[in-house]
Amino acid sequence: MAKSATAKKHGEPAKVSHIVETKIPDFDRVIHEKTRLAMISALAVNPTLTFNELKGILKTSDGNVSVHARKLEEAGYISCRKSFAGRVPRTEYSLTAAGRRALERYLNHMEALIKAVKQ
């Protein structure tokens, strides 16, 4: 296999003839974590989801759902409503207006990054 004409001897990396600077968006760290992104995305397409529905969608543990839901709730991105069906506790989550805006910003940032990379 032939080496690149710009590569140095002894396996050193090729020289870059020019550097293209791209502005990397400042991602929302609350949403950027994959489990929280999955939760907020699921709630964006469902008006409400119960704790067990989220757990099933995410294929994760009770503790994971609780921790990530609390983080999203503290950020004001989801709301939590607790009730009882007979004697069984029921926890339902829904996306807030702030959560929908945050997801839209996040998706716009991702689209801008994808566009910049594809140029």
- The residue type found at 107 is L
**Is a pLDDT exceeding 70 seen at residue 104?**
yes
User: Are the beta carbons of 107 and 44 closer than 8 angstroms?
Assistant: no
Domain boundaries, the chain: 29-113
State which CATH number among 3.90.480.20, 1.20.200.10, 3.40.50.720, 1.10.10.10 fits the domain covering 29-113. Answer: 1.10.10.10
DSSP, residue by residue, 2-46: PPPTTPPSTTPPPPPS-----------HHHHSHHHHHHHHHHHHS
Q: What is the pLDDT of residues 23-59, one digit of tens each?
A: 666 788 999 999 999 999 999 999 999 999 999 999 9
> Is the pTM for the entire model greater than 0.85?
no
Percent of the residues in the chain that have a pLDDT greater than 70, as a whole number? 79
Q: Quote the pLDDT of residue 1.
A: 47
What is the mean pLDDT of the segment spanning 88-102? 96
Q: Quote the pLDDT of residue 114.
A: 87
